Amino acid sequence: MMTAQDRTNAFNAIDKSKNGRIDFEEWYAHFKGWAEENNMSRDELKMVFNTYDEAGTSRGADFDEYNSFMDDIFGPIVSVSTVDERKASFDAIDKDGSGLITYVEWYKHFKGLANDTNISKDELMRMFSVYDEGGTVRGVDFEEYTNFMNDIFGEAK
45-59, 94-108, 119-133: which is most confident: 94-108
Distance of CA 68 to the CA centre of its chain: 15
Q: Give the CATH number of domain 83-152.
A: 1.10.238.10
Give me the pLDDT at residue 29, please: 92
Predicted local distance difference test score (pLDDT) of residue 78: 61
- pLDDT above 70 covers what percent of the chain? 83
> What would the DSSP string read from start to end of 89-113?
HHHHH-TT-SSSB-HHHHHHHHHHH
Residue spans in the chain of domains classed CATH 1.10.238.10: 4-74, 83-152
- 43-99 pLDDT per residue, tens: 998 988 988 887 666 678 998 888 888 877 776 666 666 888 888 888 888 889 999
Residue 94: exposure state from Cβ atoms within 10 A (0-12, 13-18, ≥19): buried
Segment 134-154, tens digit of pLDDT: 766 688 999 999 888 888 767
| 23/58 Cα distance (integer angstroms) | 7
| Amino acid 57: pLDDT | 62
pLDDT on residue 100? 93
Answer whether residue 116 shows pLDDT above 60: no
Confidence class for position 12, pLDDT limits 50, 70, 90: very high
Superfamily of domain 4-74: EF-hand (1.10.238.10)
